[in-house]
Amino acid sequence: MPECIFSKTWAASMPDRTVIRGGTLVITGLPQADVAMEGGRIVAMGPDLAAAPVEIDARGLHVFPGLIDVHLHFNEPGRTEWEGAATGSRALAAGGGTLFFDMPLNSTPCTVNAAAFDQKRAALAESAITDFALWGGLIPGNVPEMAELADRGVVGFKAFLCDSGLPEFPRADDLTLFDGLREAARLGLPVAVHAESQEITQGMAHAVAAQDRGTARAFLASRPVIAELEAIQRATLLAREAGAKLHIVHVSSGRGVALAAEARARGTDVSIETCAHYLFFTEEDVERLGPVAKCAPPLRHASEQNSLWQQLISGVVDIVASDHSPAPPGMKTGDFGRAWGGIAGVQSTLAVLCERGYHDRGLSPERIASLVAGEPARRFRIPGKGGIAVGADADLALVDLSRSLRLKPEHLMQRHALSPYVGSSFRGNVVRTIRRGETIFLSGEIVARSVGEFVRPSLS
Ligand code: ZN
C-alpha cells in the first residue's frame, strides 16, 4: 500500500493563486490562454493574466478538463487485494482523471443498501486521491432500498441483465428491472444496464463448451453481438414504458450503438457508453493476449469496431469509460474459461482516444473532452465538473498530444501491473493532473498531498 501522506487540511495551506500559462484550452475554438485557480476553482481565463505566486508553464500542452470515469470497479471495501481506491485512483490520476463513479460491485458488501453505501463512502474518503461518486445496485429484492440510496447521493442504479460473475450481485429479471426503472424515474436518477441476454449467453456457453472447452474462441462464440442487441432492445423498451433515464454501459458493437440510438429517436431517454478497449482491441487480440484481454461483452471483430468508431465520430456515442475491472494476477492467467472477465485499463482511456481518435481519425480534442468529461458531468448532473470555465472546479489534465510513450508495466499505478495496453505506444501523454487546484500527478509521479471529495448529483 502507498504510504499515507494525506492531510485533509492541506487545502488550507494551498497557495492563494496559481496561473497555468499559455496552454491550448480544450474548449470551443481551442484558444491559447492562461487559467487562474484559487481556492480549488477556476477564477479567471484569458490572455496575459497577471502574475501569481505559483506559475505553471503549459506552453505546447493541451489543457483538458479532468477525466470523469463513470464506470469502474475499485473493489473497496472487501477486495482491496484486487485493487482498492488508493491504487486505483492513482492510476486514474496518471491517466488525467480527477473523478470516478465506483460501481456497486465488486466490493464486499455490494452497494445495494444504505449501510453498504456508508461503508464504501467512508473507505473511499480515506484513500482516493481523486474525487469520487458512487453507483447503487439494482438486484432482485432491493427496490425498497433505492430511495435511501438516492438520499445518500448515488449517481444512479446499476443492473445486470446476465450473470455478473458474483453470486452476491444477481442479475435483474425483467420485473425487477421494470420496477427498478419506475422507482428510479420517481427518484430522478438513471438506471445503468449491462446489456447481454442471459438466455443467449448461458445457452451458447453450454453449447460451445461441449466441443471447445476453455478457449478464447469458445468464450467469444458464447457471447455474440445478438446477445447485446436483444438486451438493449428490451432495456430501452422497459425504460420508455417506465419513463426512466437509461444508461447503457460498455456497448461493444456499432450495431448496439445504432439500436440504442433508434430507441432514443423513438423517445427513450438513453445515454450510450462504450469503453476504450472496444475502440483499441479486436477479437484477434483476445486470442493473441489471452486472459488479460478477457471481458464481457467481449472484444469484437474489426468490422464491428470500425462501425463503433463511425458511431462515435458521428456523435452518437455519449461517453467513453474504462470499465476498469482488475483481478489478482492468478485470476488473469492460465485457463481462459476460468479467468476473471474484466480489463484493467483505467490509466489508458485518454491515451486511446488521443492515439486512435485524434491522431488516426481526426477526432477533435473538444469531442474527446466531451466524451470523457463534459457529457459524464451533464448526464449525471455533477455540479462544477466536466468543463473549463470560470467558477468550475479546477480539475484539469495537461496533455502533450504529440509525445509518444510505449506503456510499460512500471508505468502502471494500479495495484497489479497487468493491462492489455502494456506494450502498446500512445501519442498523447498526460504531463500533469490537477484536482481542485492541487497537482496530484506530475511527470510520471503521484504527488497528491490530500484526498479527494465525495460528490453527488444535483437533482434540483
Ligand atoms: Zn463494469
Q: What residue ranges in 253-360 does DSSP mark as E strands?
A: 269-275, 319-321
d(CA 455, CA 382): 7
Q: Which ranges constitute the DSSP H helices of 300-423?
A: 302-313, 349-352, 360-361, 365-369, 375-379
How many Å lie between the centroid of ligand 1 and the Cα of residue 249?
8
Helix/strand/coil for 68: strand
Residue 124 grid coordinates: 473511499
pLDDT, residue 390, reads 97
How many Å lie between the centroid of ligand 1 and the Cα of residue 450?
27
pLDDT, residue 335, reads 84
pLDDT, residue 3, reads 42
DSSP letter for 282, please.
-
Pairing of strands 131-134, 97-102: parallel
pLDDT, residue 14, reads 61
How long, in residues, is the chain? 460
How many Å lie between the centroid of ligand 1 and the Cα of residue 325?
6
DSSP letter for 170, please.
P
How many Å lie between the centroid of ligand 1 and the Cα of residue 369?
22
Closest CA to 18 of 439, 412, 424, 451: 439
Residue 168 grid coordinates: 452476491
Alpha-carbon distance values, 442 to 93, 95, 380, 429 (Å): 10, 11, 29, 11
Residues 6+ apart with CB under 8 A from 236: 246, 248, 259, 260, 263, 268, 270
pLDDT, residue 13, reads 55
Residue 348 grid coordinates: 489508458
Task: Tell me which H or E stretch contains 181.
Answer: helix 174-187
How many Å lie between the centroid of ligand 1 and the Cα of residue 156?
14
Find out whether 101 and 155 touch, Cβ atoms under 8 Å: yes
Q: Bridge partners of 438?
A: 435
How many Å lie between the centroid of ligand 1 and the Cα of residue 342?
8
Please identify which residue in the block is written with the cell numbers 509525445.
403
Closest CA to 107 of 136, 76, 142, 130: 76
How many Å lie between the centroid of ligand 1 and the Cα of residue 295?
9
Angle at CA of residue 445, ends 357 and 11, nearest 5°: 105
d(CA 99, CA 73): 13
d(CA 201, CA 198): 5
Please identify which residue in the block is written with the cell numbers 472496444.
278
Find out whether 214 and 335 touch, Cβ atoms under 8 Å: yes
Find out whether 417 and 409 touch, Cβ atoms under 8 Å: yes
How many Å lie between the centroid of ligand 1 and the Cα of residue 73?
6
User: Per-residue b/e over 77-100, b at no fewer than 16 CB within 10 Å?
Assistant: bbbbebbbbbbbbbbbbbbbbbbb
How many Å lie between the centroid of ligand 1 and the Cα of residue 324?
7
State the pTM of this model.
Answer: 0.96
Chunk the chain into consecutive blocks of 10 residues (it has 460) and report each block's average pLDDT, rounded to whole numbers.
Answer: 47 74 96 97 96 96 98 96 96 98 96 98 98 98 98 98 94 98 98 97 81 82 95 98 98 98 98 98 96 96 97 98 95 88 96 98 98 98 98 98 96 96 97 98 97 94
How many Å lie between the centroid of ligand 1 and the Cα of residue 59?
37
- Backbone phi and psi for residue 245, each to the nearest 5 degrees, phi listed first: -80, 135
d(CA 136, CA 218): 33
How many Å lie between the centroid of ligand 1 and the Cα of residue 106?
9
How many Å lie between the centroid of ligand 1 and the Cα of residue 70?
10
pLDDT, residue 2, reads 43
C-alpha of 167 from chain center: 23
pLDDT, residue 6, reads 53
- Backbone phi and psi for residue 165, each to the nearest 5 degrees, phi listed first: 95, -10
Q: What residue ranges in 6-151 does DSSP mark as E strands?
A: 18-25, 32-38, 41-46, 54-57, 62-65, 67-72, 97-102, 131-134, 136-137
pLDDT, residue 5, reads 47
One-letter amino acid identity for 281? F
